[in-house]
């Protein structure tokens, strides 16, 4: 297995299915989104950069809450879905591997980077770009797969970062990085961030009615996602 995820827009082929799955499903609507939206705090009147925006589910919620949203994604189909879902937002195709040269330094109040860190090969460089465009006093909110869950599924050496391939329950083929928690913390630090909060979210109570097994597991085991709020290091 090459130790790179590479530039292939993996989500393009199942972008529409992701939208259907993420709109009301337990993992996105009742677990990841509430956690990240809570960490973002009030967004009214703020400019939010939605990095790896997917089909615009976050962007829709942010615009409803009064934010101006700029978004980008590697997958052209995801960008199309975002534009359709959130006409008030501004979306483009962009790979996190490249500099955000269309955004001036210190031009956004908040950056959201939900469930996509795993697909990026040079995470420090990508995070440093997100840091560059954040205004002082701003914050980055990111979520990622919980590394303990990754390790329980794949075994091997927890501390050794590596690229793996999985086929998820809907037949989606995904290639992504497994990496320990300390590596994400170190990458944030190297990119110029200080971690303000780290949460291991639990699904919202109403999620029990959607999928009782997943609800029980995610309320008792570290096998889902985690979320971090980090601020530009002022030192
Ligand atoms: C699990 S989805 C999350 C989408 C959205 N953030 C959400 O939580 O609803 C991961 C997204 O990351 C995008 N992505 C993966 N690699 C990327 C890259 N190098 N640059 C930009 N987007 C990327 C995918 O195309 C996909 O839309």
Q: What is the DSSP string of 31-71?
A: IIHHHHHHHH---TT-EEEEET-TTSHHHHHHHHTT-EEEE
Q: Where are the domains of the chain?
A: 10-179+204-232
Find the helix packing angle between 15-24 and 57-64, rounded to 10°: 50
pLDDT at position 116 = 98
Q: Pick the residue whose CA is nearest to atom 9 on ligand 1.
A: 54
Cross-strand bridge partners of residue 71: 50, 91
Tally of helices (H runs) and strands (E runs) in the chain? 9, 9
pLDDT at 1 over 70: no
Predicted local confidence at residue 198, as pLDDT: 98
CA triplet 93, 95, 96: central angle to 5 degrees? Answer: 130
CA–centroid distance, residue 41 to ligand 1 (Å): 22
Mean pLDDT of the chain: 97
Q: What is the DSSP letter of 123?
A: H
Report the nearest-CA residue for atom 15 of ligand 1.
119
Q: Token match 């534009």: residue?
A: 83
Mind listing the pLDDT tens digit for each residue in 8-58?
Answer: 999 999 999 999 999 999 999 999 999 999 999 999 999 999 999 999 999
% of the chain residues with pLDDT over 90: 96
Phi first, then psi: give them for residue 191, nearest 5 degrees: -85, 0
Best of 8, 33, 35, 54 for a ligand 1 pocket test (most atoms within 8 Å of beta carbon): 54
The candidate with the shortest Cα–Cα distance to 77, out of 50, 56, 98, 96, is 56
**pTM, rounded to two decimals:** 0.97
What class has domain 10-179+204-232?
Answer: alpha beta
Residue in 73, 92, 102, 172 to alter for ligand 1 test, most ligand atoms within 8 A of Cβ? 73
Enter the DSSP assignment of 7. Answer: S
Going by CA atoms, what residue is nearest to atom 4 of ligand 1? 54
Element (H, E) at 182: helix 181-190
**Ligand 1 center from residue 112 Cα (angstroms):** 11
- Mean pLDDT within 94-106: 98
Query: Do residues 159 and 195 lie in contact, with contact meaning Cβ atoms separated by under 8 Å?
Result: no
The mean pLDDT of 49-69, rounded to a whole number, is: 98
Determine whether the shortest distance from the Cβ of 96 to ligand 1 is under 6 A.
yes
**Burial per residue of 128-144, b for 16 or more beta-carbon CB atoms within 10 angstroms, e otherwise:** bbbbbbbeeebbbbbbb
Which atom from ligand 1 is nearest to the alpha carbon of 50? 6
Distance 78 CA to ligand 1 centre (A): 8
For a ligand 1 pocket test, name from 119, 126, 141 the mutation site with the most ligand atoms within 8 angstroms of its C-beta.
119
Task: Name the residue at shortest CA distance from atom 26 of ligand 1.
Answer: 54
Mean pLDDT of 159-184: 94
DSSP E strand boundaries for the chain: 47-51, 68-73, 90-93, 108-114, 134-145, 162-167, 173-178, 193-199, 225-232
């Amino acid at each position: 297995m090459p130790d790179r995820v590479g530039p292939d827009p993996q989500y393009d082929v199942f972008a529409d299915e992701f939208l259907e799955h993420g709109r009301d499903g337990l993992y996105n609507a009742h677990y990841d989104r509430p956690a990240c939206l809570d960490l973002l705090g009030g967004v009214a009147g703020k400019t939010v950069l939605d990095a790896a925006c997917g089909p615009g589910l976050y962007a829709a919620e942010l615009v409803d809450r009064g934010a101006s949203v700029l978004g980008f994604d590697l997958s052209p189909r995801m960008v199309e879905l975002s534009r359709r879902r959130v006409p008030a937002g501004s979306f483009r195709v962009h790979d996190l591997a490249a500099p955000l040269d269309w955004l001036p330094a210190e031009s956004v109040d908040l950056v959201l980077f939900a469930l996509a860190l795993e697909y990026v090969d040079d995470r420090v460089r990508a995070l440093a770009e997100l840091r560059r465009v954040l205004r002082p006093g701003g914050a980055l909110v990111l979520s990622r797969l919980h590394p303990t869950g990754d390790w329980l599924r794949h075994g091997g050496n927890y501390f050794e970062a590596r690229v793996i391939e999985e086929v998820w329950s809907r037949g989606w083929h995904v290639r992504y990085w497994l990496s320990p928690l300390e590596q994400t913390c170190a990458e944030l630090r190297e990119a110029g961030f200080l971690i303000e909060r780290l949460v291991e979210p639990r699904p919202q109570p109403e999620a029990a009615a959607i999928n009782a097994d997943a609800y029980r597991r995610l309320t008792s085991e570290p096998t889902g996602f985690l979320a971090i709020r980090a601020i530009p290091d002022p030192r």
